[in-house]
Structure 1
Amino acid sequence: MPFTILHKIANTPAIKRFLTENRLFVKLYFNWRYLTADPYNVEKSEFERDKLQRTLEAIKPVGHVKSALEIGCGEGFLTEPLAKISARALGVDISGLVVNRARERFAHAPNIRFKVADILTCDFGEKFDLIACSEVLYYFELAQLPLVVERISDLLNPGGALLLCHARALGDDDSGVPMKKFGAKTIHELFISSPGFTKVYDQTYPMYRITLIRKD
């Protein structure tokens, strides 16, 4: 069936609501996106390298932790440095394709695990001292964000840290990426204003924002 026909069917209200609520759209999108390795050019892009370095600088106050979780880990470019400051690190992604690639890439690292999981439905069976969400939370619907905040809070140990890094979006900010309906401003402010969280670090750059929050 031609893509244009599938696209029209998927965007009918009832079908779109079903796909959105069950996160099937997101899973299909990322399985397609990761058909090629490093689709976001993290390894070669100076912009991406600088952003990763600034992200790592932001978590220095956290120090060494027992456990770290990266939500939306992709190929593990951030999970790897998280493992260097934690006894064990877990990277989760909704795409089984990229999780398999990450497992192969870091098969030599004994304290890194990767798992196919959606944080809204997965039972992790543990809590974490550090959780990182980089360029991932705008792939939830706006109406789902309060549940995402609640879920991440439940996954954090008391005193644990949450690292957020997201693109700024013209949908909710005066600068940033035009194609996103909401971005760092909506996401980060929702966490900052939620009871039980204290802002530790917050830096806005022209194209993205990095925030570190501590759970009370």
Structure 2
Amino acid sequence: MFVSPFPSAETLRTFYRTNYRQASATFYPKASSRRRRAVWRSLAFLPQVVGKDVLEIGCGGGFMVEAFKRLGARVIGLDISQNSIDYARAHFGHCTFYCETMQEFRQRGLQFDFVFTSEVMEHLPGPTDFMQTLEAVVRPGGFVYASAPDYSHPRAPSDLILWDAMCPPEHLLFFSSDTLIRLFTDHGFTLYRNFGSKTPAHSMLFRRSA
């Protein structure tokens, strides 16, 4: 399910590049709680991150990147929001961050054992660029974690127009559990674990065919 028509590339670039979440090199909303949650959340992925090459797509202020780094990962954060990356670089200077599109990042030729992406897919004007990036950067046998709104969840409103997740131009793309799994399957990934969620959200770990 998706917004039609999608906003233009220029509209999205303007929306995210310098003003997203009013972040800056010195401020990120709810930074302290985000940092604490990132530490606890990272522990669920110990087998995927300890001593591994890790990428976070849509890293925002860099909180999960730092948490994975503390677990011994060689980790990179990617985001198109310059002000978010400014915060990440200012506060987690021992980590590596890139502010560029997924298409630009693919040209670097880097590959990873684990890609973490949370609350990113709903922001995209279609899944093609995202899935092409995963195909390019995830090693055979590697993992991808995806979290995104789930309109098929029992706690999603029956009238989806009333759902607060419906907020273009920020949220544009939505999946049910079946369609998200089908998308990944079509691109060579199989469902490895469904964490489940009490709220209307996907929380799934996929593995690329070896």
Aligned counterpart, 1:31? 19
Offset at residue 152 of structure 1 (A): 1.2
For residues 99 and 58 of structure 2, the distance between their equivalents in structure 1, rounded to whole angstroms, comes to 10
Q: How many Å apart are 1:84 and its aligned residue?
A: 2.9
- 1:125 aligned to 2:109? yes
In structure 2, stretches of 5+ residues that fail to align are 157-162, 167-171
Deviation at 1:116, TM superposition (A): 0.5
Q: Does 1:17 align with 2:8?
A: yes
1:133·1:165 contact (CA, 8 Å) conserved in 2? yes
1:163 and 1:212 in contact (8 A); partners too? yes
Residue 32 of structure 2 corresponds to which residue in structure 1? 43
TM-score between both structures, scaled by the size of structure 1:
0.72
Contact 1:68–1:83 under 8 Å retained in 2: no
The percentage of aligned residue pairs carrying the same residue is: 22
Q: Conserved in 1, the CA contact under 8 Å of 2:149 and 2:165?
A: no
Question: Structure 1's 63 and 155: CA in aligned 2 closer, same or farther, altered over 3 A?
Answer: closer
Aligned-partner Cα distance in 2 for 1:59–1:87: 11
CA deviation digits over 1:37-86, x for unaligned, max 9? 332x25337xx83x873x43442332524311111111111111222344
Q: 1:100 corresponds to which residue?
A: 86
Instruction: Give the TM-score, by structure 2 length.
Output: 0.74
- 1:66-85 matches, cutoff 5 A: 66-85=52-71
Residues 1:59 and 1:117: Cα distance change in structure 2 (over 3 Å)? same
RMSD: 3.0
Q: Is residue 2:147 matched to residue 1:165?
A: yes
1:178 corresponds to 2:179: no
Task: Tell me how far apart the structure 1 counterparts of residues 205 and 49 of structure 2 sit (CA, whole Å).
Answer: 13
2:205 pairs, out of 191, 206, 212, with 212
CA change 1:188–1:38 in 2 (3 A) is farther
SS where residue 125 of structure 1 aligns? coil
The Cα of 1:118 is off from its aligned counterpart by 1.3
- Counting matched residue pairs gives 189
User: Residue 59 and residue 184 in structure 1: after superposition, are their counterparts in 2 closer, same or farther (change >3 A)?
Assistant: farther
For structure 1, which runs of at least 5 residues remain unmatched after alignment?
1-12
SS in structure 2 opposite 1:120? helix
Amino acid at match of 2:205: L
Give the greater-gyration-radius structure (CA). Answer: 1
Q: Select which of 103, 106, 119 maps to 1:135.
A: 119
For residues 178 and 34 of structure 1, what CA distance do their matches in structure 2 show? 20
Choose between structure 1 and 2 for higher RCO, CA contacts under 8 A separated by at least 6 residues. 2
Distance 1:114 1:178 in 2: 30
Letter in 2 for 1:193: T
Cα distance 1:75–1:159, how it changes in 2: closer, same or farther (>3 A)? same
| Residue equivalent to 1:189 | 181
Distance 1:106 1:52, change over 3 A: closer
Give the aligned partner of residue 48 of structure 2: 62
Taking a change above 3 Å as real, the CA distance of residues 191 and 84 of structure 1, as seen in their structure-2 partners, is farther
